Amino acid sequence: MMSFLGHKKIIDDQDLGILYISHNNMEPLKVCRGQVTQTKYGAIRHSDVIGKKFGCRIMTTNGKGWVVLLQPTPELWTLTLPHRTQILYFADISLITLKLDLKPGSRVAEAGTGSGSLSHAIARTIVPTGHLYTYEFHEQRAKQAREEFESHGLSKVVTLSHRDVIKDGFDDSITVDAVFLDLPSPWLVVPHAKKVLTSSGGRICSFSPCIEQVQKTCTALSELGFSELETVECLLRPFDVKYSSLPEPDLGVPAKKTDSETEDSDNGKTEGNTKATKECHSSDKFQNEGEADDDEIAAKRAKLEENALPKCIQRRKNPQSYSRCVVPQREITGHTGYLTFASLYEFKT
């Protein structure tokens, strides 16, 4: 069975991998002996993939291209999973993991399993002794998520329940270190979360796309004795590294000296200058040789710099001045939301 919690080198039959076609084109692929998968570069026989290492190049049957089958990770799964709901991406997941103080051995309750993006990341963080209790009110989504957890080797770490936590709350038999809420009305679940949350510094996080939801949630947290309230928005803005070209200015041909300037220069010469010129002939000879060596070195350096440029730039007839620059991407994956964090402490008097 393929597991998201361990490392594996060799691809076996029935393994799940992430088929890397290009930077913005990846998809999950289950390896099944005898099957064929079509890509824009050509067909891939699954039988040819079995026995190879994850991450190696796999040539297509027509020999015109190649793809890579990567071992699945929570990050890659977030980019390729089948969307049943809106999901959380890297920026929010990393901040949630940090602010909830998740670590191996942590016990976490999640209300709103959805597509399971955050669930995979939490499971990977809390192994081997931690546990995730996740709840989904939609029966079909709960069934699909349970099947994914089992096929991904997470069933020992994740317990999924089909339940509406707004009405029925969490399972009273559990005690957790952290609670995460991704619901339309998280303020209605705060009383239920307090019952299962440890009172010695338990942490809670609520994800809400609207500021009105945040205000109601903060009010409920304050009324129930939560402290250290904090609301943040985590935005990710990726940049691409590209080459930028600037035209080289044409400054024209250097100006030549006029006849009068040349005569004045000749009249200013003395016999002493002639003698000094003769004495410098020998040194000029060595200097010219040194300049020739410098020119040769400069030519080699220019050739190396030209080879370092992309092939598409080298093929241009009139190369210009090129420099690296960063350009923000036009489309950024992810939807904006607010993360509200709070702590629960029991003060005894």
Annotated binding site for S-adenosyl-L-methionine: 115-118, 136, 164, 182
Burial tier of 339 (Cβ tally within 10 Å: 0-12, 13-18, 19+): buried
Q: What's at 64, amino acid-wise? A: K
Beta bridge partners of 28: 18
184, 133, 180, 192: which is closest to 160 by C-alpha?
A: 133
Residue 135 CA to residue 85 CA, distance in Å, equals: 14
Residue 74 CA to residue 89 CA, distance in Å, equals: 10
Residue 208 CA to residue 186 CA, distance in Å, equals: 8
Q: Is 141 helix (H, G, I), strand (E, B) or coil?
A: helix
Residue 313 CA to residue 154 CA, distance in Å, equals: 48
Q: What angle do CA 138, 142, 143 make, to 5 degrees?
A: 120
Cα distances from 72 to residues 27, 54, 117, 154, 349, in angstroms, run 11, 10, 13, 13, 51
Binding annotation: 115-118, 136, 164, 182
Residue 144 CA to residue 150 CA, distance in Å, equals: 10
Residue 227 CA to residue 296 CA, distance in Å, equals: 71
| Sole residue written with tokens 């952290």 | 178
174, 180, 187: which is closest to 203 by C-alpha?
A: 180
